[in-house]
Each structure stands twice: as structure tokens, then as C-alpha cells.
Amino acid sequence: MKNSQASDTPHVGGAAPEADLAGVLHEVSNALTVVLGWLDAARTKVGSGAALEAVEVARAHAQLGYRMARNAIGATVGVDDERCLHSVAREAALGVTQEARRNGVRVHVDFADAPDVELHDGMTAYQILMNLLLNAIAFTPVGGIVTVSLGKDGSRAVFRVTDEGPGIEAERAETVFSGPVSTREGGAGIGLSYAASLAKSRGGELVLLGSGPGATFELRWPLEKARSVARPRSQSTSVSLAGMRVLLVEDDAAVSSLIEFALETHEIEVLMVSSPEQLVEMFEAGEKFDAALIDLSPFEEDTGKALALLKNAARDGASLILISGLVTSIPPELEGRIAAWVRKPFEMNEVIQVLRRLRGGD
């Protein structure tokens, strides 16, 4: 991206701020794709116990980053999260375990008689609950307890977080969700206001119930609508990918390694290139493939001949699948030739489902 005017402010590589941000988002998207992929692989290997719990905590936080990155680039998250009241509370409490230990605080979840109802957009509820728990831990003295109580109120689930800190002054309580000042050491004062606005945007509500001694915040969250038991299961989930040849065009070695590993577990033969020159050489050697996973970043400097070759491959019956995250439109050379677009960051299951759908003709 060329600068239209000079600036006195230094930027990475001399680029404009928006170019810096685009570059950072690209690298973050790649990193999250790799982390999510290998954590999924690890889940199948570690068995049970503390190791699995650690993997699950890491995966849950990687998914938070995944959702935020997808939102930042204007991409939707594939499916809504099917999470229940009990699992969100349990996972959030597990996620803050190390922070609680460092502060000498214990986190207790009181399930009592709360029904384990299914939540709408459970991952966002988890994100907000984590925010509340970290705040509560920060203000609770050594030896204290942070309690999470669960319940159901009509069409909403209820998370109630109570700490044993000094509480919130009356004048501060009135602006706790809007004021910019934080009383938490190192805090920026935006956590609770952001959490409240995020809850409202999802049909929920965050309120302060008690202001001292100790503070109690209540998150009221909408329930998932009842699902039809007659909803058919996608036929693509049963389509075998064995014997399929897939071309991978990707210049990030870590992403390439992950995708190669994931595809080979489905008995897919993977052909990998990382530059337009390698792509041209592969075509000149007469290689054929059933589908191509294409990251456009290798083509930033040289698009013409390489993209024209991919267009010809599409004419020959190969399915072209974009796996780029930041581009806003399909290059003219590939217009009308792209079968699917899986935006980074992505989970490998998204790619597998696209390949199954294309092979099964759905």
C-alpha cells in the first residue's frame, strides 16, 4: 500500500497505520489458525486429567481470539456456540485457576439446583464471565473466595459473581459501566463498560447488585431457542476424502505444516507451494489436483501468471478455495472461479467440511 502523504509518525516498515494494522491482523490470523489446529490435535493425544484440562483452557482462549479476529476483519463465525450454563461456568472457573492461585484466592462455583440450560452465543457469555472473574480475583484479599452462583430467570440464564473485596463506593457504582476510571491496579477502566455493551449487543444484561462490602455482578444471558428434532444432519459429514489431491498455496510455514498434517489424517494427498514461481513450476510439470487452498499473500508482488494458471485449473474441474483473511474482494483473475472462502483465522474442521461438501456435490 502506497502512502498518499508524508507523516512525521514512524510506522512499521514505513507503512501507513492502516497497513500496519492489516499486517498485524494477517499475522495474528495465521497464529490463531495454527494454535487452534494444534490444540485440536493435542486433545486427541493427551487422554484425561490435568493435561487435557490445560489444553481445553488454552483452546477456549484461542477461540476467544479467533472470534475477535474474525469480527475485526468483518467475517462471521461459522456456527453459533452450543454451550450450556454449567459448562460455561465450569470452563471460566478453570480458566482463571492459575490467576486465582497467584493471588491466594479460591474460586467456587455453586451449581445448586440451577438447570443446565443451553445458552445463545455461549462463547461470548464465557468471555464476559472471564472478565468478571478476573476483576473479582484482583479485588479479593488473600485467603478470600470468589463465588459464582448459577440460576435461571424466565428466558434467561443467570451468572452471579461475588467477591470479598472492599466493594464499590456509591458514587463510583453509578458510573461503573460507563466511567473511564479504574480502581484496579494496572486497569484501564474499560473492562466492565465493554462487557456491559457486549452483553447488551447479544441480548443479555450486566448489572451491579451489591456494592459493599464485596461486590456482586449479575450477568443475565438469553437462552438458545429450541431446536427441531427433525433437523436433518448434513450429508457432507459422511463423505470420505481419501485419495483426494489438494494443492496448498501458503507462504507461512507453520500454517502449511498444520494444514498438511490435518489433511493427511483424512488420507488426502497434499501438494504444497509457497510462491508464484513454485506454482508455475508445478503446473508446467503437469500436476493435477481436485481442489486448491489458496492464501493470496504469496501473490502480493506477482499475481498475473500465477492467478491465470489457477483460473485455468478451475476450468479443468478443480475447486478453488480461498483461505485468506484480510482481502476484501476476489481478484479479477479469479472472479467467478472461487468455490468457497474460509477466512483466517479458521479451525481446520471448517476446511474439512468445505472439502467434503465440494466432493459430495452438496
Q: What is the pLDDT of residue 256?
A: 92
What is the pLDDT at residue 21? 61
Q: What is the pLDDT of residue 179?
A: 61
How distant, in Å, are the alpha carbons of 36, 55, 212, 356 from that of 45?
A: 15, 10, 47, 25
What number of other Cβ atoms are within 10 A of residue 318's Cβ? 20
Kind of pairing, strands 319-322 and 291-294?
Answer: parallel
- Report if pTM > 0.85: no
Tens-place pLDDT, residues 77-86: 554 456 789 9
Sequence-ordered list of residues with C-beta below 8 angstroms from that of 290, at least 6 positions apart, any chain: 244, 245, 246, 317, 318, 319, 359
**With a cut of 70, which residues of the chain have pLDDT below it?**
1-23, 25-26, 70-82, 179-190, 210-212, 226-237, 301-303, 325-329, 361-362
Q: ∠ CA(253), CA(255), CA(258), 5° rounding?
A: 110
Which residues, 6 or more positions from 178, have their beta carbon under 8 angstroms from its beta carbon? Answer: 193
**Which grid cell sits at 14?**
514505513
Cβ atoms within 10 A of the Cβ of 67, count?
18
pLDDT of residue 233: 44
Domains of the chain: 84-180+189-223 (3.30.565.10), 238-360 (3.40.50.2300)
With 0-12 CB in 10 A as exposed, 13-18 as middle and 19+ as buried, what is 87? middle
